[in-house]
Amino acid sequence: MDLNELYSRHQISIARASDAASASGRDAYRICAKGYAARIADVQWLAGVVRPTVVVGA
């Protein structure tokens, strides 16, 4: 998965978390968003980015 797709999926997870009807649904999407954020940081680190993007609000 490339960086653009990771960013897209991260944003979709955040949007779905905010739209979720239940607390468990919100939590599930937030967990997904945090996972994508970690993968984004990993890809950036491997690409030589010294300070990977910090994703807030996930």
Q: Is residue 9 part of a domain?
A: yes
Q: What is the pTM of this model?
A: 0.83
Whole-number pLDDT of residue 8: 95
Is the model more confident about 54 or about 43? 43
The predicted pLDDT at position 55 comes to: 63
In-domain check, residue 31: yes
pLDDT tens-digit profile of 23-45? 999 999 999 999 999 999 889 88
How far is residue 38 from each of residues 19, 23, 43, measured CA to CA in Å?
Answer: 22, 22, 9
Is 17 domain-assigned? yes
What is the extent of the structural domain holding 35?
3-46
Structurally, the chain folds into a number of domains equal to 1
